[in-house]
Amino acid sequence: MSKHPVFAKEIQADGSFVQQGNALSTPFSYEAGGLTPEANRYQLVWMPACPHAHKVVIAIHLLGLDPIIPISATGPYRTDEGWVFSGYPGGRDPLTGAKSTLELYQRSLPDYDLRPTVPLMVDLRSGQAVNNDHKTLTLQLETVWKDFHAAGAPDLYPEALRPDIDRLNRLIYEEINVGFYKVGFAESQAAYETAYDKLFESLDVLEDRLSQSRYLLGDQLTDADLRLYPSLVRYDVVYYDEFRCRERRLRDYPNLWRYARELYQIPAFDQTTDFDFIKESYYRSPHLKALFGNSHNILPKGPDLSPWKQGPSN
C-alpha cells in the first residue's frame, strides 16, 4: 500500500492510480431535491493549476455567468487543510470566511477525510459546499443555467451533438485528464507502462481527429473542447517532465498543437490560463515536491511560451 500522505487511498495494490469519486454530487436542477440556479447565490472555488477546475471556470466565462457566479481562487500550495486561500487578506476567502477547502467540505460533511478537491460550488446562504462533481458541472452550467447565459453565448452542448460529445468526454476524462495522473502517480513499473501506453494511444486518436476538423466536433466549439484544453496547456509545462510523459511533447503533435493555440486566442481560455501559477503549484506545492523529490525547491525554466501568444499560424 502506498505511504504517500495525500494519494495513498487512490493507489491500488498493483501500483495504479484510481482517482477518488466526488462526495458532493447533488445536481443543479429545477426538480425537487436539486440545487436551484439563482444569481449570486453560488460561488465557485478553484485552484488555477487544477485542470478539472479550469474547465469549469472556462465554461463560466464563455457563457457569461461570471457576473452572477462569483469565483474565488486558492493559492498554489496544498497543506494538511487542502488548498488554502493564501491570496486574500487574513488568509480567508472573502465570501465565506473559510481558510481552506477542507473547512468548506467539513461544513457540509463533518467527517470528510478524502482530498478536499476543486472545483467546488458553495451555497453562499449557508456557507456550505454543495457540489464538487467536476465530471458533470460544465454540462449543468450549459443546460440548467441556460436562462442566465449572456446574450450570444455559445451552445456548448447542442442536442444533436450530445451523443458524440458524451463519447468524447469519456475518452478525454479517463485517458487524458486522469490519464496524465495515472502515469505520474503510478507506483509500479507495470502500472506506469500501462498508463503511459494508453495515454499516448489516446493522444494519437485525438491528433488524427483534429487533422479533419478545427475543433473536436467540426467548426463548433463544444463541451469536449473545454475538457481537453486544460490538459494540453499543462502538458509541456509540467506533465512532460515531472510526470514522465516523455514520448512526445504537445508541440510534436501538429494538429493538437495548432488546436490548443487556437483555443488560447479565445479570452475565456487565455485569461484563465496562468502558466507561472501552474508551474509554481506542480513543482513547489509540498505534496508534489515530496512525491517527485524536489527537495531543493527548484522551479525549472522553460519551455518557451511565446508560440501560445503568436497563435496557430506560427
Domains with residue ranges and CATH for the chain: 23-148 (3.40.30.10), 159-310 (1.20.1050.10)
Would residue 245 show up in a list of annotated catalytic residues for this protein?
no
Higher pLDDT, 62 or 312: 62
Q: Would you list the DSSP string of 76-99?
A: S-EETTEEB-TTSGGGS-TTT--S
pLDDT at 98: 98
Is residue 266's pLDDT more than 60?
A: yes
Mean pLDDT score of the chain = 97
Residue type, 85: F
Section 244-250 average pLDDT:
98
pLDDT at 167: 99
Is residue 83's pLDDT more than 80?
A: yes
Angle between helices 254-264 and 223-234 in degrees, nearest 10: 110
Q: Is 261 annotated as a binding residue?
A: no
pLDDT at 314: 54
pLDDT at 311: 86
Q: Name the nearest CA neighbour of 250 among 271, 275, 223.
A: 275
Residue type, 143: T
Catalytic residue among 50, 196, 253, 264: 50
pLDDT at 5: 81
H helices of the chain, where? 51-62, 101-108, 134-143, 162-171, 179-184, 189-209, 223-234, 240-242, 254-264, 267-270, 275-284, 286-292, 306-310
Nearest-Å Rg of the Cα atoms of the chain is 19
Q: Is 116 annotated as a binding residue?
A: yes
Q: Is 144 annotated as a binding residue?
A: no
How far, CA to CA in Å, does 250 sit from each of 207, 231, 235, 242, 254? 10, 10, 6, 15, 8
Is residue 91's pLDDT more than 90?
A: yes
* CB count in 10 Å sphere of residue 190: 11
Catalytic residue among 181, 192, 253, 282: 181
pLDDT at 206: 99
| Lowest mean per-residue pLDDT among 51-60, 207-216, 305-314 | 305-314
Which grid cell sits at 264?
488560447
Q: Name the nearest CA neighbour of 314 among 277, 276, 262, 267.
A: 262
Residue 239 CA to residue 309 CA, distance in Å, equals 21
* Cβ 245 vs Cβ 239: under 8 Å: yes
Residue type, 87: G
The tens digit of pLDDT for each residue in 144-188 reads 999 999 999 999 999 999 999 999 999 999 999 999 999 999 999
Question: How confident is residue 1, by pLDDT bands cut at 50, 70 and 90?
Answer: low
Residue that is written with C-alpha cell 453565448 in the block: 153
Residue 236 CA to residue 179 CA, distance in Å, equals 15
Q: What is the pTM of this model?
A: 0.97
Would residue 181 show up in a list of annotated catalytic residues for this protein?
yes
% the chain with pLDDT above 70: 99
Section 89-108 average pLDDT:
98
Residue 309 CA to residue 121 CA, distance in Å, equals 31
The tens digit of pLDDT for each residue in 8-44 reads 999 999 999 999 999 999 999 999 999 999 999 999 9
pLDDT at 313: 72
pLDDT at 4: 80
Residue 51 CA to residue 256 CA, distance in Å, equals 17
Which grid cell sits at 13?
495494490
* Cβ 54 vs Cβ 48: under 8 Å: yes
* CB count in 10 Å sphere of residue 73: 21
Residue type, 74: T
